[in-house]
Amino acid sequence: MTTVATDAPVSVAGQSRLRMAQVLFGAALCLALAKGLLPDAMIRLPEAWVLPFADWFNAVFNFMRDDLGLVHVTRAFADGLDWFLDVTANLLYGKNRWPRIGPIPWSVIAVTAAIVGYALNGWRLAALSGLTFVWIAVMGQWQWAMETLSVILIAAPVSVLLGLVMGTLAWRSARFRAVLNPLLNVAQSLPHFAYMIPVVVFVGVGPKAGAIVTIIFSVPPMIRMTLLGLQKVPTEVIEAGQMAAATPWQLLRHVRLPTARTEILVGVNQVIMQCLAMVVLASFIGMPGLGQKLLQLLQALKIGRSFEIGITIVLLAVMLDRCSKAWAMKQPVHMEKGTPWAVRHRLLLIWVFATVVLWGLSLIFPLLHEIGRREALSLADPLDVAMDWIIATLDPVTQWLRWFLIVWVLIPLRDGMLWLPVSAVLVFLMAVGWAVGGRRSALICLAYFGLIALSGWWDRAMITVYTVTFSVFIATLIGFPLGIWGSRSDRRAKTVLLVCDTLQTFPSFIYLIPVIMLFGVNDVAVVGAVVLFAAVPLIRYTIEGLRGVPDAQIEAADMSGATRKQTLWSVRLPLALPTIMVGVNQSVMFSLFMVIIAAFIGTQDLGQEMQRALSSSDVGKGMVLGLAVAFMGLMVDHLVTVWATRRRKALGLG
Amino acid sequence: MTDQKPVISCRNVWKMFGPQPEAYLAGLDPAASFEAIRADGYVPAVRNVSLDIAKGEMLVIMGLSGSGKSTLVRCMSRLLDITGGAIEVEGHVIGDLSERQLIDLRRNKMGMVFQSFGLLPHRTVLDNVAFPLEMRGQDIHARRARAMEVIELVGLGGREDYFPRELSGGQQQRVGIARSLAIEPDIWFLDEPFSALDPLIRREMQDEFLRLQEMLGKTIVFITHDFDEALRLADRIAIMKDGAVEQIDRPDRIVMEPATPYVAKFTEEIEKARVVHASALAGPVNGLSLSGDAVDGSKTISQLARLLVNDERSILPVAGPDGGVIGALDKQRALDVLFGEAQ
């Protein structure tokens, strides 16, 4: 009885929702078809309606910077940070600053990394960590890599600390949480460049600006993970602490934070990865290091050399990711009673010994201290030869593909998108919103895109929309079958997930190298990079969704005599769909980020305008463009979340 | 029971969850039914409970999940603030204590054991057990020495450097027990301590627990949803349903004279002969002529089965703890209990 009673209104609501959506779809279609009859104001907003958001932002920023004197605060903070940056810079690559010990010989750093790797997760991680540094040194990239690392070494801890404090505050105060949450949502969907412009205005350019933009960019995940960790501490552990008569402060310090250790360390992992991604991109605001080198080489189309740097960045990313993940997963283990001190601290002793020996040796053999440009190996020449051969071989294919995509797909699609009247797009989005989540969602969609229309960047935004839509579509065509294939056996799933994991640790910049190599500098390369980047989460969530279907359902299907194909289509996919949609959501987010980054190889969308705003330090324009991108992401996020939540509930998956 | 002042005394205790519990309770008819309160959007987790717990007594609070037993014990330790009524612990109304006084009370008087142990995963066994001592600022040597003492007491000697993750469920609960005993509490709360353990280990832990209690003689509030466990351990049992205490009495009497149909349903399946003691079944002597050897009043009917079946007397004298005759046992009645025909 009760199920009937609760089901009935839901389906009635569902039906009326769909009917309304159909009406709106019809209206959108009419608006598009009747474009010739529409008044101009419904095709593009008239100039007079465009709101000067950029000027308003500029006014606010100028007020904060000059009238409130915030610029002095930020500069002071930056100078404080600079002191720390100088310390790591001295240690890692011998910048002439206090404590004037460095540069530490590369061999010592490599051994240190290997021992840390061993302590965290045994031989394999030790080999990865150690060899990464050996590679960097041998390939003659030590200076650049250390410039990059010296910033991460400061930015990551600062960001972790900030995240811990803010996460704890958010946990303590519901009001703070309510304010913080939407801010974090926007912050996590703002493209990288949007962060850079205000930093340039408030701090300037160079390593400290790079460090600050890195810190700002990497704090949000730490806040979220801290909050999550603190909320997840089991009630009984807290009650046990209370019964042990801990004061609130003791409870936080001795009970809550240590019990949330795993989540907090997962946050640390995310901070480190975000730092790496940002520090590479910060080359756009004068941050020296691997990113800058890569940017220069890519712009000069030196494929072999940029490939080498790409490998270095990838190795660093994978190493940092594995190490910090191993740290998060590491559980304490006790030592047998009566284990002597030397055995308990075996690794420490080995490290001290190795450091002393290698440092001594490096004084005798300078090659262990530093490998100069002349002694360094380079794979660039053979790589270039190989690349040239590959490119030449593939050339007919890539040429044709490029011609076909540009002439028959990309240009018509873009022109179609630009042809659509604003009013038709807005009504269409409302229809989608209504179909998914009723009036509220429809209004949210309208608000996000309405604001973009009011900002006056509609045409640029439509180009971004078309690139992202098309790329995600292609990514789905690739990722979905791959995901289904990957989910077929445990072993395959494990392998594919590992590959996806590894690919996801790469900074987005890296994805540009192979596509530029194959397609040159044009729209196809952009789409290629976006597709590569966006397919990864799709594959991943498809596998996770399909593997996550409860065994009982599969067994029931098997016992009903379903073939594998039937099971896939009638049982696995419907149950996995909510999870897969989360993948689509992430895929859209990734595409948006990538499209904007790809701007520097020549696009005509919001990203290119953002680059211009960056080079002219136009904070207002940068913020407006950044928010326009964020709003697209947030709209998709809203739709997918609403849909997936309702679907999960309907399927009884919690 | 002794005639001393009760250690814990609950008077008309209410714990209500909902938007404005105090205001709602103030306007509530005390006899309102559980369903009526739920219909108003409130959850009466504890409903008008009054009970006393004497020094050295073990009270077992029994009920199904959601009956409010865990909430009641959290009210007694003031992990939760009550909505109405008063709870006195050793003469102090705990609702009136300041944060500082409450912390003092917990630091010196109370210990608690939790269903899923509530151990700190990043601390060794030793540091977990020493945690309450650390909180009250004891210096490291003193607290380690004391922690070692309790670890030995619960039979975990030699495992003090292990981390909780490295121990079995039973061992983890021993750590929980050791921690709750570290400060030498007078009052010991145990919230379903053995429910998360498998049956064999549970039995073993119950024995261990009885051994500890015999040694320590603490005042105990023990929560369980397992009626057999309650019968095994309790001096008195309080049976809760929908937040209210249905009956609070000695195990024999709960089995022989259930106060409500709900309690009766619980006791239906119980083999009464294993629970009822001869002393509880014995009637007054009232000038009956008793002859022969007396039976031990502290034995259960099932323990006396062979004797009852073989004895030719129709009425048997029952001896108290000191050996004197305290009552007369009607053999027929005892046999009825033994064969499950008692009312």
Provide the 3-class DSSP secondary structure of residue B223.
strand
Average pLDDT, integer, range A544-562? 87
Interface test with B, best of A242, A243, A250, A257 (most B CBs within 10 A): A243
Q: What is the CATH number of domain A382-419+457-654?
A: 1.10.3720.10
Q: Tell me, what's the pLDDT at A8? A: 42
Q: Which two tokens stand for residue B134?
A: 């650390």
Average pLDDT, integer, range A2-29? 71
**Percent residues over pLDDT 70 in chain B:** 98
Instruction: Report CB contact under 8 Å: A243, B161.
Output: no
Beta bridge partners of B110: B187
The residue in chain A having the minimum alpha-carbon distance to the alpha carbon of residue B191 is A236
Contacts of A334 in chain B (CB under 8 A): 124, 161-163, 166
What CATH number is attached to the domain comprising B252?
3.40.50.300
Co-location of B242 and B310 in the same domain: no
What distance in Å separates the CA atoms of residue A530 and residue A592, rounded to the nearest whole number?
Answer: 8
pLDDT tens by residue, A282-333: 998 889 999 999 988 888 888 888 889 999 999 999 999 999 999 998 888 8
Domain count, chain B: 2
What distance in Å separates the CA atoms of residue A214 and residue A221, rounded to the nearest whole number?
Answer: 13
What CATH number is attached to the domain comprising B300?
3.10.580.10
pLDDT tens by residue, B298-322: 888 888 888 888 888 888 888 888 8
- Whether A150-331 and A382-419+457-654 share one fold: the answer is yes
pLDDT bin (cut points 50, 70, 90) of residue A272 is: very high
Residue B164 has pLDDT above 60, yes or no: yes
Mean pLDDT of chain B: 88
Q: Tell me, what's the pLDDT at B133? A: 92
Q: Which residues contact A201 (CB under 8 A, 6 or more apart)?
A: A61, A65, A617, A619
Average pLDDT, integer, range A69-94? 90
Q: Tell me, what's the pLDDT at A152? A: 95
Q: Is residue B147 in a domain?
A: no
Which strands, in side-by-side order, build the sheet including B315-319? B295-296, B315-319, B325-330
Phi, psi of B49 (to 5 degrees): -95, 130
Query: Which amino acid type is present at position A183?
Result: L
Q: Tell me, what's the pLDDT at A7? A: 42
Co-location of B9 and B82 in the same domain: yes
Lowest mean pLDDT among A39-53, A262-276, B145-159: A39-53
Residue B1 has pLDDT above 60, yes or no: no
Q: Tell me, what's the pLDDT at A476? A: 94
DSSP string, B128-141: HHHHHHHHTT--HH
- Residues A442, A443, A445: CA angle, nearest 5 degrees: 65
What distance in Å separates the CA atoms of residue A138 and residue A408, rounded to the nearest whole number?
Answer: 47
Q: Is residue B59 in a domain?
A: yes
Burial B104-143 (b: 16+ CB within 10 A, else e): ebbbebbbbbbbbbbbbebbbbbbbbbbbbbbbebeeeeb
Phi, psi of B12 (to 5 degrees): 45, 50
Query: Of B270, B290, B318, which residue is a domain's last?
Result: B270
Closest approach of chain B CAs to the CA of A240, in angstroms?
Answer: 6
What distance in Å separates the CA atoms of residue A366 and residue A370, rounded to the nearest whole number?
Answer: 6
Q: Tell me, what's the pLDDT at B3? A: 54
What distance in Å separates the CA atoms of residue B338 and residue B334, rounded to the nearest whole number?
Answer: 6
Looking at per-residue confidence, does B291 or A401 come out higher? A401
Instruction: Say whether the peptide bond before residue B21 is cis (omega within 30 degrees of 0).
Output: no
Average pLDDT, integer, range B149-160? 91
Residue A574 has pLDDT above 80, yes or no: yes
**Percent residues over pLDDT 90 in chain A:** 53
Average pLDDT, integer, range B52-81? 92
Q: Tell me, what's the pLDDT at A560? A: 85
Query: Of B270, B300, B329, which residue is a domain's last?
Result: B270
Q: What is the CATH number of domain A150-331?
A: 1.10.3720.10
Domain span holding position B302: 273-338
Query: Of B239, B270, B301, which residue is a domain's last?
Result: B270
Residue A6 has pLDDT above 60, yes or no: no
Residue A1 has pLDDT above 60, yes or no: no
Query: Regarding beta strands B315-319 and B295-296, do their DSSP bridges make them parallel or antiparallel, or are they unpaired?
Result: parallel
B195 contacts chain A (CB < 8 A) = no
Which strands, in side-by-side order, build the sheet including B219-224? B110-113, B187-191, B219-224, B58-62, B236-241, B244-249
Nearest to A227 by CA among A285, A188, A169, A303: A169
- What pTM did the predictor assign? 0.87
Q: Tell me, what's the pLDDT at A12? A: 67
Residue B295 has pLDDT above 70, yes or no: yes
Co-location of B262 and B278 in the same domain: no
Average pLDDT, integer, range A251-257? 94
pLDDT bin (cut points 50, 70, 90) of residue A390 is: confident
Closest approach of chain B CAs to the CA of A244, in angstroms?
Answer: 4
Average pLDDT, integer, range B230-240? 92
- Residues B304, B306, B311: CA angle, nearest 5 degrees: 95
Phi, psi of B60 (to 5 degrees): -105, 125
Contacts of B117 in chain A (CB under 8 A): 236
The residue in chain B having the minimum alpha-carbon distance to the alpha carbon of residue A249 is B135
Closest approach of chain A CAs to the CA of B291, in angstroms?
Answer: 56
Closest approach of chain A CAs to the CA of B173, in angstroms?
Answer: 13
Instruction: Report CB contact under 8 Å: B74, A331.
Output: no
Q: Where are the domains of chain A?
A: 13-43+420-455, 150-331, 382-419+457-654
